């Protein structure tokens, strides 16, 4: 019985299994999707006037006749057509035909601009406004551009002093033609030039102190260049904010400053009158730090500059928050939250509490760089002060950001962390926005040394010699310049690789040609050749540079022998000079343009004679010290010592390697290169030892203008290493420094007060202007 039951059970399982297999065998196969149809034709239909051609619409579509129809491609076509800026509405759908599909595109296009009219314009030239606006006849109507154009017209009027001018626009459409007429209506006002800026209610600060916090300036002598003195409503708004912040940062938390009154004076001259209600000055009662565990509280407090008894300053509190964030950020606590809480302590006292939420320590996992379409990744990465695996040090990240900004390759640099799946790890993201790094410049310049000259220059600060045809993205520096003037001719082509072999070693070279007749009144000088150089930074402020130069030098232009000494006649001819030099630099200046404090020292040792005709050696030590004095005045002390000597059988140093003084760059009371030994006919022949010093004091006069008083002293002796002071020359003088858009301008008048046995003559006027145009 038991056997039969087991047999029956097995038999039943076999029947079920066979039935299942049979059912699967008989089940119908899953239906297969038919292939997408082929596009047989594309029909363009217009909802309104056809201001965009059918060919242009089809050119912006992925869907093409003869290709498979794709809904994904249709969605992309819709986006592409909208992105052209010429379409206001679009629909695309497929219609079945016998052997495929017919694609129908229904578009509503924007109107074209038929005419641009300016009404009410009398103060400015309509031709200038037409040039400045984006809306042009024949272009596509764009509402966003119309508002941009309105603002641009307002800006043009404000730049010319018509600050209260208003501008409106209207659009007259012609639906039948698909076009529109644009009319800008200008309501002009009289010009307003600021003659003075006054303050009322300023009991705690002098007007001079308040004016320093403002952008608006009264009209002055150089306003025709700087545009100062014109009423600008945007600048006035910014000045109200700046004045309020100035008062609040000096403890006047409740200060009230409103828009100034514009008071007519005479003609187009007005005065800006600011009414100030200062309120009371607040002081700090108590300072506390809460939530500090990673660092001792005293160490955090040491970073806080707000102190009990001091004047309460919102800016100082913000600086304290940044200092605490930097302290924690240097240890990788980038999620730190610092909340500054201020509460009244009564009697014009304020309590300040810094509440800390420290977060956890983070390390860098990956460094992601984006936005660099031209610049190579390695050019960016080599400027970063951090690498993957390092502690996420926010101070070093800030340093990295500053380095990238200083390259001038990018209009914007952002650095920010992002979370990863690994605890304690953050990705560092570097987002850059590239800008133009090449330039083509031309212009003219004038100085009392060079006289008049013109130049053409091509530069590329992000050059890549291997990247054809753009030649950009490698971080190399390329420069080609040609200048021709009444006193000189120059041409130079240079290339520098700041990271040679991916090391922080700058290597470069240049090919040059130089010809001048300003070095001497009796001969001309020409040199051409090449220079190879390498520069290595030794620290934050120090560097060393090595140069090798090979050049052909020609002295020519002497005519006759009656007025020239034997040394000058013998100096004529060609010289092949092969020289090497090494320069050690120490530079802590706060700015290269208007230095207010710091030091700059250059020590150069050089020798010639590695082949060639010239055999001499020497050194030059140049130093400057800058002191920032009260009232933004600057005291500058400058000194230089130099000597040169011949060797290897040479009896004299060639005339082009000798030392000279005089002119705009050293002794300003004397002619250029006129201080020092002369021949029996009074022609300068230079010396082998030179020393000089300058004391200069500059002071602000008005915006962009500084005055100067100076004293220069120095000597040039015939012998090498001859530092006797028997032939000292000195001068005193006055000067003016102008910071103009064309470049810095320097005017000096020096009057000799001490002359050597070679020198003569009265005072000299020196004029220099930057060559950038």
CB atoms within 10 A of CB 302: 12
Q: Give every CB contact of residue 594 below 8 A, 6+ residues apart in sequence.
A: 739
Residue where a domain stops, chosen among 252, 277, 302: 277
Structural contact between residues 568 and 555, judged by C-beta atoms closer than 8 angstroms: no
Cis peptide before 237 (omega within 30 of 0): no
Strand order in the sheet with 337-346: 283-290, 349-357, 337-346
Name the token pair of 445.
Answer: 């310049």
The residue length of the chain stands at 773
CB atoms within 10 A of CB 477: 17
CA distance 434 to 437: 9
The DSSP H or E segment spanning 298 is helix 297-301
CA distances from 186 to 120, 121, 164, 356 (A): 5, 6, 11, 55
CA distance 107 to 50: 9
CA distance 572 to 419: 73
The DSSP H or E segment spanning 211 is helix 207-211
What 406-411 contacts at long range (C-beta under 8 Å, 24+ apart), as own/partner pairs, is 407/383, 407/461, 407/462, 407/475, 408/435, 408/437, 408/461, 409/375, 409/379, 409/434, 409/435, 409/437, 409/461, 409/462, 409/475, 410/371, 410/375, 410/434, 410/435, 411/435
* In a shared domain, residues 663 and 676: yes
CA distance 100 to 68: 9
Name the token pair of 640.
Answer: 């230089």
Paired with 641 in beta bridges are: 621, 691
3-state secondary structure of 608: strand
What is the separation, in whole angstroms, between the first and last Cα of the chain? 116
Helices (H), 334-376: none
* In a shared domain, residues 683 and 746: yes
CB atoms within 10 A of CB 331: 17
Give me the pLDDT at residue 219, please. Answer: 80
CA distance 454 to 487: 11
CA distance 495 to 497: 7
Structural contact between residues 597 and 605, judged by C-beta atoms closer than 8 angstroms: no
* In a shared domain, residues 390 and 320: no
Strands 410-419 and 337-346: unpaired
Whether 566 maps to a domain, the answer reads no
For every residue of 95-148, DSSP letters joined together read EEETTEEEEEEEEEEPPEEEEEEEES--SS-HHHHHHH-S--TTSB--HHHHHH
Whether 307 maps to a domain, the answer reads yes
Paired with 624 in beta bridges are: 600, 638
3-state secondary structure of 390: coil
Q: Give every CB contact of residue 482 below 8 A, 6+ residues apart in sequence.
A: 455, 456, 457, 490, 491
CB atoms within 10 A of CB 561: 10
For every residue of 536-547, DSSP letters joined together read EE-SSSEEEEEE
Structural contact between residues 80 and 139, judged by C-beta atoms closer than 8 angstroms: no
CA distance 760 to 773: 37
Give me the pLDDT at residue 5, please. Answer: 37
* In a shared domain, residues 80 and 146: no
Residue where a domain stops, chosen among 187, 222, 249: 187
Helix then strand then coil, % of the chain, to nearest 5: 20, 45, 35
Q: How many domains does the chain have?
A: 6
Structural contact between residues 134 and 160, judged by C-beta atoms closer than 8 angstroms: no
CA distance 366 to 518: 58
Name the token pair of 471.
Answer: 């030649």
Whether 410 maps to a domain, the answer reads yes
Strands 689-702 and 743-754: unpaired
Whether 623 maps to a domain, the answer reads yes
DSSP 8-state assignment for residue 30: P
Residue 664's domain comprises 592-769
Give me the pLDDT at residue 452, please. Answer: 77
* In a shared domain, residues 98 and 128: no
Mean pLDDT of the chain: 88
CA distance 195 to 228: 10
Whether 504 maps to a domain, the answer reads no
Whether 212 maps to a domain, the answer reads yes
For every residue of 219-247, DSSP letters joined together read --TTHHHH-TTB--HHHHHHHHHHHHHHH
CB atoms within 10 A of CB 416: 12
* In a shared domain, residues 50 and 134: no
Structural contact between residues 185 and 120, judged by C-beta atoms closer than 8 angstroms: yes
Name the token pair of 247.
Answer: 């008062």
What are the φ and ψ backbone dihedral angles of 56, each rounded to 5 degrees? -70, -35
Give me the pLDDT at residue 179, please. Answer: 83
* In a shared domain, residues 665 and 598: yes
* In a shared domain, residues 43 and 83: yes
Q: Is the dihedral of CA 401, 405, 407, 410 positive or negative?
A: positive
The DSSP H or E segment spanning 510 is strand 506-516
CA distance 193 to 271: 8
CA distance 180 to 177: 9
3-state secondary structure of 673: coil
* In a shared domain, residues 634 and 734: yes
Nearest Cα to 343, choosing from 278, 281, 279, 286? 286
Q: Which residues of 486-516 are buried (b: 16+ CB within 10 A; e: fewer)?
A: ebbebebbbbbbbbeeeeeebbbbbebebbb
Paired with 356 in beta bridges are: 338
3-state secondary structure of 418: strand
Residue with tokens 């578009």: 107
Strands 349-357 and 283-290: parallel
DSSP 8-state assignment for residue 567: H
Ranges of residues in the chain with a pLDDT under 50 are 1-27, 560-561, 771-773
CATH number at residue 76: 3.10.20.310
Give me the pLDDT at residue 20, please. Answer: 42
* In a shared domain, residues 238 and 330: no
* In a shared domain, residues 683 and 628: yes
Whether 500 maps to a domain, the answer reads no
Structural contact between residues 105 and 90, judged by C-beta atoms closer than 8 angstroms: yes
* In a shared domain, residues 103 and 116: no
CATH number at residue 603: 2.40.160.50
Whether 325 maps to a domain, the answer reads yes
Residue where a domain stops, chosen among 88, 109, 130: 109
For every residue of 610-673, DSSP letters joined together read EEES--EEEEEEEEEEEEEEGGGEEEEEEEEEEEEEE-TT--S--GGGSB-B-STTS-TTS-TT
Residue 75 CA from chain centroid, whole number: 42
Q: Give every CB contact of residue 135 below 8 A, 6+ residues apart in sequence.
A: 113, 116, 141, 142, 145, 146, 149, 182
């Amino acid at each position: 019985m038991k056997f039969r039951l087991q047999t029956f059970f097995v038999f039943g399982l076999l029947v079920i299994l066979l039935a299942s297999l049979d059912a699967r065998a008989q089940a119908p196969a899953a239906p297969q999707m038919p292939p997408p149809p082929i596009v047989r034709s594309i029909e363009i239909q217009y909802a309104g006037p056809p201001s965009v051609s059918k060919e242009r619409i089809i050119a912006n579509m992925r869907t093409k006749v003869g290709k498979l129809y794709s809904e994904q491609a249709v969605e992309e076509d819709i986006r592409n057509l909208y992105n052209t800026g010429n379409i206001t509405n679009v629909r695309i759908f497929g219609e079945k035909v016998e052997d495929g599909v017919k694609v129908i595109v229904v578009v509503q296009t924007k109107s074209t601009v038929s005419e641009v009219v300016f009404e009410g314009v009398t103060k400015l030239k309509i031709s200038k406004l037409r040039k400045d606006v984006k809306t042009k006849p024949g272009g596509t109507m764009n509402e966003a551009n119309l508002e941009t154009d309105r603002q641009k017209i307002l800006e043009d009027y404000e730049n010319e002093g018509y600050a209260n001018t208003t501008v409106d626009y209207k659009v007259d459409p012609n639906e039948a033609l698909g076009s529109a007429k644009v009319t800008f209506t200008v309501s002009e006002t009289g010009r307003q030039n600021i003659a003075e800026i006054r303050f009322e209610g300023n009991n705690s600060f002098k007007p001079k102190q308040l004016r320093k916090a403002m952008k608006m300036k009264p009209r002055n002598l150089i306003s025709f260049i700087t545009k100062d003195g014109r009423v600008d409503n945007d600048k006035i708004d910014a000045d109200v904010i700046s004045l309020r912040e100035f008062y609040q940062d000096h403890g006047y938390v409740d200060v009230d400053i409103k828009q100034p009154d514009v008071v007519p004076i005479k003609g187009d001259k007005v005065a800006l009158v600011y009414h100030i209600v200062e309120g009371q000055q607040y002081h700090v009662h108590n300072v506390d730090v809460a939530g500090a565990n990673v660092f001792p509280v005293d160490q955090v407090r040491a970073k806080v500059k707000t102190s009990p008894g001091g004047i309460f300053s919102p800016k100082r509190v913000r600086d304290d928050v940044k200092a605490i964030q930097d302290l924690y950020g240097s240890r990788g606590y980038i999620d730190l939250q610092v909340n500054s809480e201020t509460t009244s302590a009564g009697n014009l006292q304020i309590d300040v509490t810094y509440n800390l939420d420290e977060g956890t320590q983070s390390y860098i996992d990956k460094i992601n760089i984006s936005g660099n379409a031209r610049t190579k990744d390695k050019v960016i990465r080599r400027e970063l002060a951090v690498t993957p695996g390092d502690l996420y040090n926010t101070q070093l990240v800030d340093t990295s950001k500053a380095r990238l900004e200083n390259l001038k390759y990018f209009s914007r640099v952002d650095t920010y962390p992002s979370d990863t799946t690994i605890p304690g790890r953050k990705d560092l993201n570097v987002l850059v926005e590239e800008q133009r790094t090449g330039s083509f410049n031309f212009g003219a310049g004038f100085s009392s040394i060079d006289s008049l000259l013109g130049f053409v220059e091509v530069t590329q600060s992000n050059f890549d010699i291997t990247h054809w045809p753009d030649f950009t993205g490698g971080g190399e520096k390329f420069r080609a310049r040609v200048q021709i003037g009444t006193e000189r001719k120059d041409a130079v082509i240079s290339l520098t690789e700041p990271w040679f072999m991916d090391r922080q070693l700058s290597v470069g070279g240049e090919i040059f040609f130089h010809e001048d007749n300003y070095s001497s009144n009796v001969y001309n000088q020409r040199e051409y050749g090449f220079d190879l150089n390498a520069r290595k930074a030794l620290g934050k402020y120090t560097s060393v540079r090595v140069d090798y130069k090979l050049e052909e030098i020609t002295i020519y232009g002497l005519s006759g022998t009656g007025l020239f000494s034997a040394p000058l006649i013998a100096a004529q001819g060609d010289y092949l000079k092969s020289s090497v030099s090494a320069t050690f630099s120490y530079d802590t200046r706060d700015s290269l343009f208007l230095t207010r404090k710091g030091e700059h020292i250059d020590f150069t040792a050089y020798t010639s004679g590695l082949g060639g005709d010239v055999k001499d050696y020497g050194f030059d030590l140049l130093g400057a010290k800058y002191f920032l004095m009260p009232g933004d005045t600057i005291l500058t002390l400058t000194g230089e010592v130099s000597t040169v000597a011949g060797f290897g059988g040479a009896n004299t140093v060639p005339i082009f390697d000798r030392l000279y003084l005089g002119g705009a760059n050293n002794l300003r009371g004397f002619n250029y290169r006129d201080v020092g030994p002369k021949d029996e006919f009074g022609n300068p022949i230079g010396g082998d030892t030179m020393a000089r010093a300058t004391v200069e004091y500059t002071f602000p006069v008005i915006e962009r203008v500084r005055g100067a008083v100076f004293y220069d002293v120095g000597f040039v002796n015939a012998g090498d290493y001859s530092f006797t002071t028997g032939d000292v020359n000195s001068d005193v003088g006055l000067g003016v420094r102008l910071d103009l858009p064309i470049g810095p301008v320097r005017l000096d008048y020096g009057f000799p007060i001490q002359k050597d046995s070679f020198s003569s003559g009265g005072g000299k006027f020196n004029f220099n202007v930057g060559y950038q145009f």
